[in-house]
A and B are shown apart, each in its own frame.
Chain A
Amino acid sequence: MSARDKILSKLRAALDEGDATVKARSAAAQARIRTAKQTGPIPKIARTDGMDRVNQFVERAEAVQATVRRIATIEELPGAVSDELRRRNLPAALRMGDDAMLASLDWGAVETSVGPGRLEEPVTLTAAVGGVSETGTLVFRSGPDAPSSLNFLGEAHFVVLRARDIEAGLEGLWRKFRDSGADPRTVNLITGPSRTGDIEQKIELGAHGPVALQIFLIDDY
Chain B
Amino acid sequence: MTAEPKSSQFKSAASEALQNPRLQAAMKASGGLAVRRAAAIAEIPEFEAIRDAGRDLKNHTLANLDAYLLAFEEKALESGAKVHWAADAEEARAIILKIVGRHAKGPEGKARVNKGKSMISEEIGLNSALEAAGHHVLETDLGEYIIQLRGEPPSHIIAPAAHVSKPDVEADFRAAHTHLDPERTFPDAASLVHEARHVLREQYFGADVGITGANMLIAETGQGVIVTNEGNGDLSQILPDVHIAVASLEKVIPTLDDASTILRLLARSATGQSLSSYTTFYKGARRQGDLDGPKEMHFVLLDNGRSEMLAGEFREMLRCIRCGACMNNCPVYRAVGGHSYGWVYVGPMGSVLTPNFVGIKEGRHLPNASTFCGRCQEVCPVRIPLPGLMRKLREAEFEQKLSPQTARYGLGVWRWFAKRPALYHRMSSIGMRALNWLSGGHGRLKRLPFGGGWTAHRDFPAPAKRTFMAEWKARKAAKSQGDDQ
Contact = CB atoms under 8 A, between A and B. Distances in A.
A147 interface: yes
Contact of B165 (A8, A195, A200, A207): A200
Interface stretch (B67-75, B104-112, B448-456): B67-75
A149 B259 CA distance: 24
Contact of B282 (A25, A42, A185, A207): A185
Given A30-B71, A207-B229, A189 B260 contact: no
Interface string A14-43: 110000101001101110110011111111
A4 interface: yes
A137 B231 contact: no
A195 B277 contact: yes
Nearest to A35: B255
Contacts of A117: 292
Contacts of B264: 40, 43, 170
Interface residues of B, number: 107
B258 A40 contact: yes
A197 interface: yes
A201 B257 contact: no
Contact of B85 (A7, A60, A198, A207): A7
B472 interface: no
A171 B57 CA distance: 16
B230 to A, nearest CB: 4
A191 interface: yes
B161 A198 contact: yes
A190 B277 contact: yes
Interface residues of A, number: 82
A196 interface: yes
Contacts of B342: none
Given A33-B255, A41-B53, A193-B277, A208 B292 contact: no
A199 B32 contact: no
Given A40-B54, A199-B166, A186 B280 contact: yes
Please name the 4 residue pairs, one residue from A and one from B, whose CB atoms are nearest each other, closest first: A209-B231, A40-B261, A40-B53, A14-B311
Given A10-B303, A169-B260, A209 B291 contact: no
Given A29-B219, A204-B189, A119 B202 contact: yes
A219 B53 CA distance: 36
11 contacts: A15-B66, A20-B63, A22-B67, A26-B64, A32-B254, A183-B221, A185-B79, A186-B238, A191-B277, A196-B229, A208-B204
Given A11-B65, A40-B57, A43-B45, 5 more contacts: A6-B87, A39-B261, A148-B293, A188-B234, A199-B164
Contacts of B293: 142, 147-148, 185-186
Interface string B198-223: 00111011000000000000011101
A186 to B, nearest CB: 5
